[in-house]
A and B are shown apart, each in its own frame.
Chain A
Amino acid sequence: MQLIRTLGHNNLMELADKQAPERHLDSKELVDVVVRFAGDSGDGMQLTGSNFTQATALHGNDLSTFPDFPAEIRAPVGATFGVSAFQIYFGAEDVTTAGDELDVLVAMNPAALITNLHNLVEGGLLIVDGGAFTAKNLTKAKYDRNPLEDGSLDGYRVLDIDISKQVLSAVESYDLGHKAALRCKNMWTLGLVLWLFDRDRHTIIDSLKAKFSGNPEIAGANVAALNAGHAYGETAELPAGIHVYKIPKAKVLPGTYRNITGTTALAWGLIAGSELANIDLLFASYPITPASNLLHELANRKQFRVNTFQAEDEIAAVCAAMGASFAGSLGVTSSAGPGIALKAEGMALGVAAELPLVIVNTQRGGPSTGLPTKTEQSDLNMALNGRHGDTPMPVLAAATPADCFEVAIEAVRLAIKYMTPVMLLSDGYLANAAEPWKIPDVDALEAFPVKHFDKPEGFKPSIRDSQTKARVWAKPGTPGLEHRIGGIERSFDTGDISYDPANHQAMTDLRRDKIAGISADIPLQKVCLGNEEASLAVVGWGSTYGAIHQAVKRARKLGLDVSHIHVRYIAPLPSNLGALLGKFDQILVPEMNTGQFVKLLRSEYLVPAESLSKVAGQPFKIGEILAAIQEALADSKGSAGASAVIGENS
């Protein structure tokens, strides 16, 4: 039996295709919809998407969004590699991913169409700016013939509008040049899509007025374009099958909500952590995609107990953070894969010197420069093992954008309590994706105030907490605590340099036991969806949460005996995880790498876990995981009926 099975992407797509394509747009009331706005980098698609997200959140739908932008800062106009897109999945039920196939694609030019059309479902709605389908743009997108004219789009509902022309006439009363007037195209399109899904325009109008408060002409033109797009939907004769769609409000817990990206949630979690610990935080970092936004966010939050330092390189960043920790603040550093590799020696010093430190890795496609703007989970092995020596370190992984808040607080707590560097794993998807977040009650967050050591009598830098085994935190400036620490092995008893063989064994054991002991200080692993005992457990970590959750939910609706387990604490693992996994006949581990976590589970627990691997720079689709669940359970006895059910539906 082949125990590690890796499904290639093509194979996955085939399985996903077995799913019944839902003819979503036939009915006027829908449970959920996926919309993607795609255009040139300069077309303002990210702004369009975030405004639509705002309106959708206020409308009361649950949602998840994912911006997908090119690595090039200013790609040539009309180029396929310059296409910038923003995807939103919203609906009346819980939404945990940005969605698989598109129900609606907005394509502002031929390049946006050719790069995104393959994701549009059959019968889906395609809104195109026909005015942008010029011979020049078609050539740039490598179209031999105009797809709007050759019948190749017959399987879709096509709304072909010369948006440029519409916009120019909508804003002609404003004193704008031709170029500035055309820049309102995105707002015209937004107006149309807002009409399509019956969304309110007023908050967007307010925010446009605020954004362009210094330039009333531009503000007025944008509002006029937005209103004109909306009016177009109301008044124009549209092709059959295109009408207003209603999506009922989602049932969500009472509370105050906001949209939040993983980057913002992580930054705010670090701020919250410093407040709960009652300690200053130095965030030292070096620019790298997709981690830089964390530096930007915190650089704007220095009114809290946060200071930021843009170091000269990745190594200086981890070292400055560690210097701050030595001096009694909490040092935090952040990067993406290649930068984390550069920090390895610094992290190991943190382990040796036993200083608190948080290292955030916003993972991206690797190896080397790899795919800087795309997402991946391939730094897990590095997080667990990527240091010289026996150098154990806690590793935590955030599951959703909002989860980054809680995980950041937890990383701060563990780093301080156990005097250790802690690795926090995020990724490009989590960093940029957004979801509604029920804002927590700040007063209900549990404080863990730091108490720096201050008793000179009998002080030694090697004094430890008997329970946590954490070394004392004796900061410079405290009389009587003068001491030296460093990277050379230290005596267990005195903290002074020691080359004694038995001492090195004792210190190595201590470092191992200290980190392993954290498993008693973290929650037991829970099953997040499904039964505690079943035919199949889908076990994930990190940003695959959303896609796994939806896939397991759908599989369970189909009657399949499957549960979802999502692991936040990867080192040390929760103490009950092995026993829990033992209650499942099969274990499937989807991850965006070639099977790093699955190998950990297999080596830790000797369980026959199987890998579902995807390394395409894109998040898993729900259908891909659902297909793998069906395949796994079709292999086992008694589940053949489940497959048949799907067949009947299609």
Chain B
Amino acid sequence: MNQPAVKLSLKDFASDQEVRWCPGCGDYAILKTIQKLMPELDRPRENQVFVSGIGCSSRFPYYMNTFGFHTIHGRAPAIATGVKLANEELDVWVITGDGDGFSIGGNHMLHVLRRNVDLQILLFNNEIYGLTKGQYSPTSASGTRSPSSPEGSIDMPLSPCEVALGAGGTFIARSIDTEAKHLSATVKRSHAHRGAAFVEILQNCPIYNDGIFDQVKDKKIAADFRVEVEHGEPLLFGKDKEKAIVLNRESLSLEVVAAAGNEDKILVHDEHNRVLAQLLAAMGGEGFPIAVGVLFSGSKSTFTEDTSAHLESVRKTGAALEDLLHSGHTWTVE
């Protein structure tokens, strides 16, 4: 039932609208990857709903030939919750950015994650406000010079994956705009997850924050700056997988060591371990790679499942308006 009548292709998911992001924007790559992924999901096109807030990334729904709702700043998780509550057959996607999702809409993000509403939340993190012309965002590094922080920002940035884990998210992943294969696989897993699936996508803004993710994107050096985590696999990185992540049990912190000679100490990724996920989400900075892939995947009934079960149980016996109006004390005047 929940399958398309005919096999669909990428073209079926591209709308007739002209794409209007800046040349070189990471959003193009993400759009192409998602459009290409959609037929693989083997779900009816009419059941795909993309909901977005405000910002460059939030234009995304206009370019998908599915149902789409481009809403107001920060509120996409709340609107998507209403869509899913009204019809749980739908695949509901939230497209958001760092400002939309974690500044003006931060509250909704926390609650949609803790409720475990069955949605895919794709956060395009370019660490800057693009559509409003380049102000620093809640994920901008301290010291970011921008029109609203000419001397450099003084805010401490937040880490989307850490916050999402802290909010009780049941699926937390990170990927990269131009890494089509990795991104596609990650988003595919987010779709398969029952519950709120959160994917942070590192996305380059060529106009206002160009190159901030070069270390993890540049093929020549990326191997030293990112570790691709896989459930059950050791946490190795570097061109020849010569570096490894281990746990310092004294300080409960991660360390980078040479893989050779430390084989028995190398951490093996367990995506069901929330504590390890927190350590991996926070990993970065001098000498450390950043983790990409599925950092955490837990299992918990979803908000929509629980709601449906509750509704089904209270609706087992029919209800008549007539009976409701006459319930309790009534009296008749002849």
What is A's interface to B at a CB cutoff of 8 Å?
A: 54, 57-58, 60, 203, 207, 252-259, 268, 271-272, 275, 280, 282, 284, 301-304, 307, 309, 311-313, 315-317, 319-329, 331, 345-346, 349, 353, 439-440, 442, 475-488, 496-497
Contacts and interface: CB of A to CB of B under 8 A. Distances in A.
24 contacts: A207-B329, A257-B331, A268-B324, A301-B324, A303-B317, A307-B307, A311-B78, A312-B78, A320-B81, A320-B85, A323-B51, A323-B78, A323-B85, A326-B69, A326-B86, A327-B83, A331-B82, A439-B330, A440-B325, A442-B325, A476-B90, A477-B87, A479-B45, A496-B17
Contacts of A321: 82
Nearest to A479: B46
B72 A327 contact: no
A477 B69 contact: no
A302 B75 CA distance: 26
Given A280-B86, A319-B79, 19 more contacts: A254-B332, A255-B333, A258-B331, A275-B321, A316-B108, A322-B79, A322-B82, A323-B80, A325-B86, A326-B86, A327-B82, A327-B87, A327-B90, A440-B325, A442-B321, A478-B46, A480-B46, A486-B70, A487-B71
Most chain A CB within 10 A, of B69, B311, B319, is at B69
The SS class assigned to the B binding surface is mixed
A487 B111 contact: no
A442 B321 CA distance: 7
Contact of A257 (B310, B322, B332): B332
Interface residues of B, number: 60
B300 interface: no
B71 A477 contact: no
- Closest 8 A-B residue pairs measured CB to CB? A323-B82, A486-B70, A320-B82, A327-B86, A484-B68, A319-B78, A316-B78, A303-B319
Nearest to B307: A307
A486 B87 contact: no
Contacts of A54: 329
A345 B72 contact: yes
Nearest to B58: A486
B67 interface: yes
A477 B90 contact: yes
Contacts of A482: 45-46, 48, 65-67
A146 to B, nearest CB: 40
Contacts of B71: 319, 322, 349, 486-487
The SS class assigned to the A binding surface is mixed
A183 to B, nearest CB: 23
Interface in B154-195: none
A309 B61 contact: no
B72 A485 contact: no
A313 B322 contact: no
A486 B326 contact: no
Given A303-B315, A349-B71, A484-B61, A479 B44 contact: yes
A192 to B, nearest CB: 22
Interface in B294-334: 307, 310-311, 314-315, 317-319, 321-322, 324-326, 328-334
Contacts of A254: 332-334
Interface in B33-49: 44-49
A309 B110 CA distance: 16
A282 B259 CA distance: 56
Contacts of B45: 479, 482
B333 A258 contact: no
B311 to A, nearest CB: 6
Nearest to B321: A442
B62 interface: yes
A480 B4 CA distance: 12
Most chain B CB within 10 A, of A271, A321, A324, A331, is at A324
B273 interface: no
B46 A485 contact: no
B89 interface: yes
Nearest to A488: B70
A282 B85 contact: yes
B85 A319 contact: no
Contacts of A475: 87
A272 B72 contact: no
Given A271-B324, A307-B307, A479-B46, A485 B82 contact: no
Nearest to A326: B69
A477 B85 contact: no
Nearest to B81: A320
Nearest to A437: B325
B7 to A, nearest CB: 15
B15 interface: yes
A47 B299 CA distance: 47
B149 interface: no
Nearest to B330: A258
Most chain A CB within 10 A, of B83, B108, B311, B315, is at B83
B117 to A, nearest CB: 10
Interface string B94-121: 0000000000000110110000000000
Given A476-B47, A476-B90, A271 B107 contact: no
A176 B326 CA distance: 36
